[in-house]
């Protein structure tokens, strides 16, 4: 009869003085996190055995997207009072970690239209939903096929309130993205600020006039300064590290479906550390307005 995972982990541990751990894990077909978890679970009188099991479960529930800060917040939400440093140590002992990589699509072509002033000046705080919004475009490549993701993020809670995916970064994509933004719930966005970089799409008269028609104030980052749009940069970093680089996609269609699921997860389930809850949970608990993004 095949040995259980605890016994296999103990056997691997016994061979570590002779062989490299990565070689042993590959031969056994066991993930490093599984090895550390079962090794810890097999030790007697471990006062943190229950806590380690729950940390391991939460980590894999979120597909490795959670670092120790979000794991700590999740535990506290369940009534488990624990210091974040202890969670960090346990995750390190169990070999559980998350990494971040960022790739940016640059659409700047010089001044080809109207360049708006920077109305935000890096003041990303908003006391109501749909008052400060930001947008940008990020390129994704699956094999030899490219697509462009164009979301709109609400700075109030970091929620993605509209987005479009296209094989071409063109004005048609921007029109679709704006159409979805204008359909969001029944909440008026008149008087809101929509911030972007100086990409040619956002300088174009079609984009500028659409904002003016809906009473939206246009704001732009200074040339070449990504910190002026830090919240959107943060979303793209999370999306790529937690989705694009975490899974293997065989086609662009597969990625697009996974992106839709990820954005729902990002809005409804993923804890934002500054909010200590998900964006939608925060909005509903603080500003229960009728915002229901129809395209998400």
Residue 125: inside a domain:
no
Quote the pLDDT of residue 110: 59
Among 43, 66, 94, residue at a domain's last position:
94
| Domain boundaries, position 148 | 132-286
CA atoms of 253 and 142, how far apart (whole Å): 10
On whether both 279 and 200 belong to a single domain, the answer is yes
On whether both 250 and 182 belong to a single domain, the answer is yes
On whether both 271 and 168 belong to a single domain, the answer is yes
* Structure tokens belonging to residue 193: 């600020």
Quote the pLDDT of residue 206: 93
On whether both 183 and 88 belong to a single domain, the answer is no
When pLDDT is cut at 50, 70 and 90, the band that residue 41 belongs to is: low
On whether both 89 and 141 belong to a single domain, the answer is no
Residue 38: inside a domain:
yes
- Count CA within 13 A, CB hemisphere, residue 100: 10
Residue 114: inside a domain:
no
On whether both 40 and 182 belong to a single domain, the answer is no
Residue 123: inside a domain:
no
Residue 239: inside a domain:
yes
Residue 194: inside a domain:
yes
Mean pLDDT of the chain: 83
On whether both 173 and 273 belong to a single domain, the answer is yes
* pTM exceeds 0.95: no
The region that residue 142 occupies, defined by phi over 0 for left and psi between -120 and 50 for alpha, beta otherwise, is beta
Number of structural domains the chain divides into: 2
Residue 278: inside a domain:
yes
Quote the pLDDT of residue 106: 55
On whether both 230 and 182 belong to a single domain, the answer is yes
User: Any idea what the CATH number is for the domain that residue 227 is in?
Assistant: 3.30.420.10
**Could you report the per-residue pLDDT of 234-273, keeping only the tens digit for each?**
899 888 888 887 778 889 999 999 999 999 999 999 998 8
When pLDDT is cut at 50, 70 and 90, the band that residue 3 belongs to is: low
Lowest-pLDDT range of 2-6, 156-160, 176-180, 277-281: 2-6
**Could you report the per-residue pLDDT of 49-71, keeping only the tens digit for each?**
888 888 888 887 877 777 788 88
On whether both 138 and 87 belong to a single domain, the answer is no
Residue 9, pLDDT above cutoff 90: no
On whether both 282 and 137 belong to a single domain, the answer is yes
How confident is the model over 150-163, as a mean pLDDT?
A: 96
Residue 122: inside a domain:
no
Residue 160, classified by CB atoms within 10 Å of its CB into exposed (0-12), middle (13-18) or buried (19+), is buried
Biggest alpha carbon–alpha carbon distance for the chain: 72
259 SS3 class: helix
Q: Which residue has the higher pLDDT, 16 or 97?
A: 16
On whether both 85 and 217 belong to a single domain, the answer is no
Among 94, 122, 154, residue at a domain's last position:
94
């Amino acid at each position: 009869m095949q040995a259980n995972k605890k016994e296999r982990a103990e056997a691997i541990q016994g061979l570590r003085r002779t062989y490299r751990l990565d070689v042993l894990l590959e031969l056994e077909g066991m993930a490093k996190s599984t090895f550390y978890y079962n090794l810890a679970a097999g030790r007697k009188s471990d006062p943190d055995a229950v806590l380690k099991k729950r940390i391991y479960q939460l980590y894999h529930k979120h597909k490795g997207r959670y670092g120790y800060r979000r794991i700590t917040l999740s535990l506290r939400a369940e009534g488990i009072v624990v210091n974040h440093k202890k969670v960090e140590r346990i995750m390190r002992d169990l070999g559980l970690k998350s990494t971040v990589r960022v790739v940016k699509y640059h659409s700047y072509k010089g001044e080809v239209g109207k360049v708006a002033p920077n109305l935000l000046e890096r003041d990303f705080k908003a006391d109501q939903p749909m008052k400060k919004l930001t947008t940008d475009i990020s390129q994704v490549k699956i094999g030899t096929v490219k697509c462009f993701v164009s979301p709109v993020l609400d700075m109030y809670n970091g929620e993605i309130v509209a987005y479009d995916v296209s094989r071409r970064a063109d004005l048609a994509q921007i029109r679709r993205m704006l159409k979805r933004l204008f359909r969001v719930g029944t909440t008026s966005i008149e008087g809101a600020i929509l911030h972007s970089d100086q990409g040619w799409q956002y300088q174009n008269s079609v984009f500028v006039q659409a904002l003016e028609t809906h009473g939206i104030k246009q704001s732009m980052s200074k040339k070449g300064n990504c910190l002026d749009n830090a919240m959107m940069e943060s979303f793209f970093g999370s999306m790529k590290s937690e989705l694009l680089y975490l899974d293997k996609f065989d086609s662009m269609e597969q990625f697009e479906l996974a992106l839709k699921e990820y954005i729902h997860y990002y809005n409804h389930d993923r804890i934002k550390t500054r909010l200590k809850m998900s964006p939608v949970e925060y909005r509903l608990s603080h500003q229960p307005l009728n915002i229901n993004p129809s395209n998400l």
